[in-house]
């Protein structure tokens, strides 16, 4: 579900009942009558693609008939032909250049007449062979199934749009999204083969877990000890993974959607302290969408740093910087991870920063917004260590595209 992305079922095909015929369209007669109507196919569905064609050659074979007026059927199954001259006509419905219905009609001078083509009517059905009737019955069954499926999809698309809007609004405040969880559970039950539904279901579960975890934090309770919260996070991972698996197995996989899901899985694993699993998820995200490698590796660096895995955090930060040298966070993570490796010069008794530490901090300060509290903290840290920043330092820039 790329707007997700939800796939709709194929449109109903026109039901062909006769052979093709050559058409020579001519312009309408000035000051004539208007003939309009509605076209319904054998399943009771409006015909939305086709033409209405008029001929006066009622005594000729269909191949020999010359079409005088040709009018398209609109998206609602309606047509309107103006300035039709008086006389007797055969009026055809054509779909894909195949005649699917015809009526004999006499046009009177100056009238505004309605001529509907209802292919479910007794008029239409009475002259059909048993074989044609059987074909139509089979078509009606298939059409009914398609219509029913389209109704389900339309309802799911509405649910999807509403939930996404609600989740976006709830993210900042970590509001309760239990209704969105219920709605998306019902959506995946209704169409369990749609990857986007599972991905958004995972997002809803994550939102609700964050909401309850925030309540735990206010109460001074570690969320890891809250079985309900842990289960919501775990269920969220499972939903995201289900979406990834369905997407990967589809005829037209969407790698960007898979990457988004893997990134979310990495973030959740990080919350749960599952560091190796988180790193693997971020690596999968990069494989699916290398264009956002800077963000995914940056997230990996944050998780490893919080887990006190300095070397891993530095490696992930370096990968994030290589992918996108204009992101501030990886430089901060690198600097913070390296500062713990600082030593003291035995002669001067001054701190000696490890290679790359000062440069990482300077890059962070040059790229981060001045309002970022970490900027002031970094400057204070370096000043306390008697380390001077380069006043002429230039912020890293993105490499030029070839």
Domains and CATH numbers, the chain: 33-127 (2.60.40.1120), 306-313+323-402 (no CATH)
What confidence score (pLDDT) does residue 30 get?
A: 54
Residues of the chain with pLDDT under 50: 1-28
What confidence score (pLDDT) does residue 247 get?
A: 96
What confidence score (pLDDT) does residue 43 get?
A: 77
Residues 6+ apart with CB under 8 A from 200: 1, 160, 163, 164, 167, 184, 187
Encode pLDDT of 114-157 as tens digits: 999 999 898 988 878 888 888 878 877 776 666 666 777 788 88
How far apart, in whole angstroms, are the C-alpha atoms of residue 321 and residue 331?
7
State both tokens at 263. Answer: 């990134």
What confidence score (pLDDT) does residue 331 get?
A: 97
């Amino acid at each position: 579900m790329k707007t997700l992305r939800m796939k709709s079922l194929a449109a109903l095909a026109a039901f062909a009942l006769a052979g093709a015929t050559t058409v020579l369209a001519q312009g309408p007669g000035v000051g004539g009558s208007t003939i309009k109507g509605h076209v319904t196919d054998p399943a009771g569905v409006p015909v939305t693609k086709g033409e209405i064609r008029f001929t006066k050659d009622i005594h000729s074979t269909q191949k020999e008939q010359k079409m005088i007026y040709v009018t398209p059927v609109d998206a609602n199954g309606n047509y309107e032909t103006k300035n039709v001259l008086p006389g007797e006509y055969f009026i055809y419905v054509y779909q894909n250049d195949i005649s699917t219905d015809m009526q004999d009609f006499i046009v009177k001078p100056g009238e505004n007449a309605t001529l509907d083509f209802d292919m479910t009517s007794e008029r239409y059905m009475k002259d059909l062979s048993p074989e044609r009737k059987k074909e139509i019955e089979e078509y009606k069954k298939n059409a009914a199934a398609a219509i029913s499926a389209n109704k389900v999809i339309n309802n799911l698309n509405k649910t999807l749009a509403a939930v996404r809007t609600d989740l976006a609004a709830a993210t900042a405040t970590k509001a309760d999204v239990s209704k969105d969880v219920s709605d998306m559970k019902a959506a995946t039950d209704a169409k369990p083969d749609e990857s986007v539904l599972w991905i958004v279901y995972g997002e809803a579960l994550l939102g609700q877990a964050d909401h309850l975890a925030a309540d735990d934090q206010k109460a001074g309770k570690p969320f890891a000890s809250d079985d309900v919260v842990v289960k919501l996070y775990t269920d969220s991972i499972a939903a995201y993974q289900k979406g990834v698996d369905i997407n990967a197995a589809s005829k037209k996989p969407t790698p960007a959607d898979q990457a988004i899901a893997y990134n979310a899985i990495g973030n959740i694993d990080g919350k749960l302290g599952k560091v190796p699993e988180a790193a693997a998820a971020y690596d999968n995200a990069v494989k699916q969408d290398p264009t956002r490698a800077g963000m995914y590796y940056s997230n990996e660096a944050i998780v490893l740093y919080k887990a006190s895995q300095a070397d891993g955090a530095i490696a992930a930060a370096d990968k994030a910087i290589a992918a996108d040298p204009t992101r501030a966070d990886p430089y901060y993570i690198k600097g913070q991870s390296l500062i713990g490796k600082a030593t003291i010069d035995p002669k001067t008794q001054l701190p000696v920063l490890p290679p790359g530490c000062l440069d990482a901090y300077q890059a962070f300060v040059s790229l981060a917004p001045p309002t970022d509290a970490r900027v002031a903290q970094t400057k204070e840290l370096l000043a306390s260590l008697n380390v001077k920043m380069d006043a002429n330092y230039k912020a890293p820039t993105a490499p030029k595209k070839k």
